[in-house]
Amino acid sequence: MAARGVKSRLEKLRSHLQRHSSSSTQHLEQTPVTVDRMKWVDMLLRTVRLFMEVVSRLVFGLMYRGESRTRLPPITNLILLESATSLATKIRTKKLTSEEVVKSFIARIREINPILNCVVDTRFDQALEDARSADALISSGTVDEETLAKTKPFLGVPFSTKDSIAVKGLHQTAGLWIRREIVADEDADVVQLMREAGAIPMCVTNVSELCMWWESANTVYGRTNNPYCSSRIVGGSSGGEACLLSACGSPFGIGSDIGGSIRMPAFFNGIFGHKPTSGIVSNLGQEPVATGEACEFLVTGPMCRYSKDLIPLYRILAASNASLLSLDSKVDIRNLRYFYIDDEGGAPLITPVSKELRAAQQKVVTHLEKAYGIKAKKIILKKLKAALPIYFAKLGNVEEAPTFCEELALKKGSINVWLELIKWCLRISHHTLPGLLLGVMEKLNDMGKKSENFPKLLTMCSDLKKEIKELLGDDGVLLFPSHPTVAPYHSQPIFRPFNFVYTAIINVALFPSTQCPLGLSSNGLPLGIQVVANHNNDHLSLAVASELEKAFGGWVCPSEVP
């Protein structure tokens, strides 16, 4: 009887399948084999990742055994600890002069840069001239304080930006050897906007090669050291910028982000960084130039030590697009809905989130409940497990864009990545190993375009974006890890190449996200979390950033860390 029942059900199933297309039937018939193969592939990838993790821990553990922290010089000038908005107010009201402020930061840069190697080109003399002009305007009394606050809100305040963003008269190498002699002949849009707001460009900072890796090191300027521990990375590609800000070498700065290049460095250096909603801030004047859909993934945004500087700086960078946002809206964080995710779903090539970072996230959840009676809801987004292939598929789908290997050749042909790898082994290549490996990855990604999974991944990205958008609505924020570990050792990212996915998936989904510091780990390295909001709801994640700063103390001065 049981056998006849099973047979009957099978006949019904066969009849049902015949009503579908033959391709669908074939797909369903192959599903058990496909699932079995996927399990084996998953297991193999996990084994590879675990092997690389064991090797990296052994190698770098021995290399940096008994690592000593290079203590940064102490802060003796309290001007260095002021927020950018506070400095602007004091300069406007003649409590400080712009000249003494600029001199203070120049002196700090000269003090810390031999240790950190974060600043790669400067305009100190011109910055001092600009400062004297600002002081002269204020002293003249021709413009009252209220008007200055509206028209030039950062008059006399120095700022910095990454080497890939053009500052007239300074080198713009983007970390690429072939660009080492290139000097910008005009300002990028965001730099021009800052000048119009009265701010004074002071220097440019180190990046990764072509801004496409998450450690700021290149063959032009070398590598940048973490201000909390010199054997650790600063992140990339805005790593030099985040390092300088954290070390009190600049009051605020500008970064750019196509896969986490603002948020990862901000996380590793214990400061705030905001990735804006896509399309709000101009990318004009950056290298490499984003084309096609990549223009949406790449965003430019503010970086600073204090959350109070984020909105004023963002408002300037957004220019006329600020009207699309609600930056002046007062946000009651008690009226927001909170969601959180522990990890990206357990993808085989991604390092699991560390216990300390999970604990830090849980402290945020606990704070919301104890302080405001808010219960954050833990959610699972199954599509996040495919975040890495989704990101590569979206990048690979950008039409008519120069390849990475062509960009490495300054778009004058293409480098032979295999030959350059041999030259790298012989120590005669002008490219970094991560840059060359990215070239190899690009070729593999091009092969993947022919796979039947490629269009499926693009569809998954759209579905994931829609799912998050509907989840957050107009009053929701998502607490999401910025990275699975605290700042790794120098070169260790090569053994953990795909850990950037926590930030990268937010880029292709086009959501705004604010990186928030949450104190220090047991070994004295910054902890943090990113707060994601819905499109154009940047004010919500920025408001939560301010709350977390109050609750957990925000940036910790590396000069004061034992």
Q: Which two three-digit tokens encode residue 525?
A: 């390295």
- Note if 208 is an active site residue: no
The yes-or-no answer on residue 162 being catalytic is yes
Report the C-alpha gap between 386 and 76 in whole angstroms. Answer: 49
Catalytically annotated residue among 90, 103, 152, 162: 162
Which of 256, 261, 429, 521 is catalytic? The answer is 261
Query: Between the CA of residue 388 and those of 213, 395, 503, what are the distances in Å?
Result: 15, 11, 11
Q: What is the DSSP string of 130-184?
A: HHHHHHHHHHHTSS-HHHHHHH-TTTT-EEEEETTB--TTSB--TT-GGGTT-B-
Strands 252-257 and 158-162: parallel
User: Is 262 within 8 Å of 274 (Cβ atoms)?
Assistant: yes
Residue 325 and residue 316: Cα distance in Å, rounded? Answer: 13
- List, in sequence order, every residue forming a beta bridge with 161; answer none if it has no partner: 204, 254
**Other CB atoms within 10 A of residue 306 CB:** 20
- Give me the phi and psi of 302, to 5 degrees please: -85, 150
Would you call 429 a catalytic residue per the annotation? no
How far apart are alpha carbons 316 and 247 in whole angstroms?
Answer: 24
Neighbours of 539 (CB within 10 A): 19
Q: In DSSP terms, which residues pair with 217 in a beta bridge? A: 223
Q: Which of 237, 482, 521, 559 is labelled catalytic?
A: 237
Q: Which residues carry out catalysis?
A: 162, 237, 261
